[in-house]
Structure 1
């Protein structure tokens, strides 16, 4: 991956993380959950060019930050009866029951997410069980999605796994062809996870988010922007994402 030197620039009331990288173009991002601003620039970009790139986008940056500030967030997880949880975009109410054998998590058609555990089970262990359930759900879905998309794109990842990620929906190590997907995607509508999967697979064809990358996305998933916007509009996780 290209090496980066990080610095912080302050423009007005906005702090911007500036990353100097071995890239050709300037990329500006406003990141969840709190609207942190990141600017990636070619290594030899002047301070004046950096300031100009930020100033020209100040209105857009403030709008993005305002959108994040007003976005719905899930409450801190207490794993108690009636607590709201999501699975594939649908809202469920948690129902904690006494386990009669193996600890299990089941999504019911009545909108209940049943968690069968011993009464003494800690919140952390309940969360571990729930995350294992989300991981199983994602893996079950990926069994069909991954081969279909690899065939369509004419590429193949060496490995694809899921894990908790604090600032990204997915990542791709191009050198070893390893893809990671954020476990939070199990809470979003299925088309959101499929979008992130395709996004990361296409990085095996094009490393950068440039015009070629966007053209490949347009060709293979014409509605990817709608899927991206849907994903970004949904409730954020209860964690305070930091980078």
Structure 2
């Protein structure tokens, strides 16, 4: 294997394999692997990668966009974005005699009798968002408790807040789990992983061998989900 750097932008590794064509693969960590048979010269491989430079840089941007979640300061106006379970929901203000919030496809319709009433807009959307978070976290809790039975039979309290450096915390003495509010932006499977992880702490408070043994037994692919979470970057604007 040989590593090559192009223009200080693209680094790739050449892997000699029994393949007919030159193949290029980009990982989610933006690592580039180029496979080719032993008869293809290094110069030809480099030229091939150079010809793909624009495509590679575009792929890099796509990877970054998937990892980065931007949460803007709320103004509660039309077009505002709310990311829920990886999907984008857009707010739309509609003049109406009855004040209410209705989800339609990926649109959050905010019906108001006064479109300029900022306090009313904020109150309705915050209540809708809080209910959405609680429903999703409660659903995950129920699923993961089924997995954990009969190892653990209690139902803990679930709360949420914004953390800057963790996805959740288990308060064993209080029979309580506090999840990072921003988990709402990510996939359901990642929420389930964090939920199960924290639930197992009621049985094994520390990250001991027994802790990971049970986690592996109940969720064999937990490492994949954990890796997905590590890749995610959330920025508040």
- TM-score normalised per structure 2: 0.60
Describe the superposition over 1:9-45 as per-residue Cα deviations: whole angstroms up to 9, x where unpaired: xxxxxxxxxxxxxxxxxxxxxxxxxxxxxxxxxxxxx
* RMSD (Å), alpha carbons: 2.8
Q: Which runs of 5+ in 2 are unaligned?
A: 1-63
1:157 touches 1:179 (CA, 8 Å); kept in 2?
Answer: no
Rg (Cα) greater in structure: 2
Q: 1:171 offset after TM fit, Å? A: 1.4
1:169 touches 1:181 (CA, 8 Å); kept in 2?
Answer: yes
Aligned counterparts of 1:201 and 1:143: Cα–Cα separation in 2: 9
**Structure 2 residue 81 is the aligned partner of structure 1 residue 84:** yes
**Runs of 4+ residues deviating >6 angstroms:** none
2:236 paired residue number: 238
User: Residues 64-213 of structure 1: matches in 2 within 5 Å?
Assistant: 71-106=68-103, 108-109=104-105, 111-117=106-112, 118-119=114-115, 120-122=117-119, 124-139=122-137, 141-142=139-140, 144-151=142-149, 154-167=151-164, 168-213=166-211
Q: Which runs of 5+ in 1 are unaligned?
A: 1-66
How many residues are paired up? 168
Q: 1:225 offset after TM fit, Å? A: 1.6
- TM-score normalised per structure 1: 0.59
Q: 1:141 offset after TM fit, Å? A: 1.8
1:224 paired residue number: 222
